[in-house]
Structure 1
Amino acid sequence: MRLILLFFLIVFAPQSAISQEKTILFSDAIKSNIKKYNKESDKVYQNGDIEKGQALFDSLVKNHLVGSKFDDYTFKSVNSKKVKLSKIGKPTFIITYSSWCVINKGEIAALNKLARNYNDSIQFIVVFWDTKQNMKKIGRQFNGKIKVCYANESYKNDATAVSTLKHTLGFPTSYFLNSDMEVVDIKRGGIAIPPRTPSRKAMEMNYALFDERLTDFMQKKDQMHQLAVLSQD
């Protein structure tokens, strides 16, 4: 039975998640692969091939970023407390925004509901690439289950996070980390909300998308954990 389970995990787990021999930092994985990815993706997007562009992103994540160790960033939060990732100690969902970009209709309400429902098992963090001054109003729209943070080039110690996250994969981007800060998955963008969609319907559409991603995240997280345990036996 143990051999069957090991075979199943090897077949279905991302290749980068299988290797436990050497810890690779997320920032190093990005640095080693982003130039080639940008060159290839720029070409296909210029040709209007959105589907192939998404496939290239998924390949970058699956083959080079999943399984890497997320850098231990310390973000400033709107309540003046700092959020250090290594202090969280449980699976973490991070989504990045910027206050000058319009957030999808119903998305904040959906994240608030998700944070309430998953509060016991997942820590939700929202990071805005912006200044504290610009965060005062929008930060109040999120509930207390979500740590609302900000980072900006003008602030000391934010340069690494900004260059590694904002200026590589863009935003909005969602990062799914296990309790050991290993990257389990990364997704970009959200769902397209048709014009004049009622607020409640928009919230439900966003909720369904993120709930599906979180369910997939928890399943992949468990697979990675089981594989790590089996590899130690």
Structure 2
Amino acid sequence: MFFSDAIKINFKKYSSESNLAYKNKDFKRGKFLFDSLVKGQLVGTKFDNYSFKKIQGGKLNLESSKKPIFLLTYASWCVPSKGEIPALNKLAQKYSNDVKFVVLFWDKKHNVKKVAKKFNSHITVCFAHETYKNDAPAISSIKHTLGFPTCFYLDEHLKIVDIKRGGGNSSPSVAYMKAYTQNYNAFRDGLSTILINKNISKERLATN
């Protein structure tokens, strides 16, 4: 089953229960519902072969990658947590030969240009928007369902291995190095699920 079909079948019930949980400020249940949807219905489905516009020009066709993909969805008005982008840049520098790193902004190109410069050359920055031709399927299946920031971990055949919320979600009051470390470890843990032929289990940074 394709991801878009699985979302279409299961999202209505998830959305209703999730909205109620967050309305009641029951964040623990909200997380439980998200994790249940991911583990029970989305993991193992095939991610659709979306085509995204690249900030540097041209298009990225996911199926052309031929290696595992890490896809992080953002919006230009979405403020990354402290240390999040530097942690992602560091991991991309280390593992870009083995994983395709993609950051997708749900925004128009002119709004993405400035923030795109914060990501290094090992990360492909893309954008999609409701007003752009051919972006509607991805926006409907991804942006309007799971929201953002959301991380998708896909194997080389586009099969979904895991889906997680953002990075380390550090508090603004946390010291920079601790926040950086939390984000690094969170992204690294996700990457370990698609880098099955590489032992990166010992590469977590110390939080102290």
CA RMSD between the two structures:
1.5
The gaps in structure 1 that reach 5 residues or longer are 1-23, 221-233
Which residue matches 2:108? 131
The answer to whether the 8 A contact 2:2-2:48 is kept is: yes
Q: Greater helix percent: which structure?
A: 1
| Offset at residue 130 of structure 1 (A) | 0.5
Which residue matches 1:47? 24
Which residue matches 2:86? 109
Matches within 5 A, 1:86-101: 86-101=63-78
Please state if 1:28 is matched with 2:10.
Answer: no
Q: How many residues align?
A: 197
| SS of corresponding position for 1:79 | coil
Quick one: which amino acid aligns to residue 83 of structure 1? L
Distance in structure 1 (CA, Å) of the matches to 2:40 and 2:123: 30
Which residue matches 1:189? 166
Q: Deviations over 1:103-154 (max 9, x none)?
A: 1111110110010111121111000000110111111111111000000001
Please state if 1:70 is matched with 2:47.
Answer: yes
Distance in structure 2 (CA, Å) of the matches to 1:191 and 1:203: 8
- Change beyond 3 A, Cα 1:196–1:41: closer
| Offset at residue 217 of structure 1 (A) | 4.1
Please state if 1:168 is matched with 2:145.
Answer: yes
Distance in structure 2 (CA, Å) of the matches to 1:175 and 1:50: 21
Q: Percent identity?
A: 51
Which residue matches 2:205? none
Distance in structure 2 (CA, Å) of the matches to 1:63 and 1:195: 33
The gaps in structure 2 that reach 5 residues or longer are 198-208
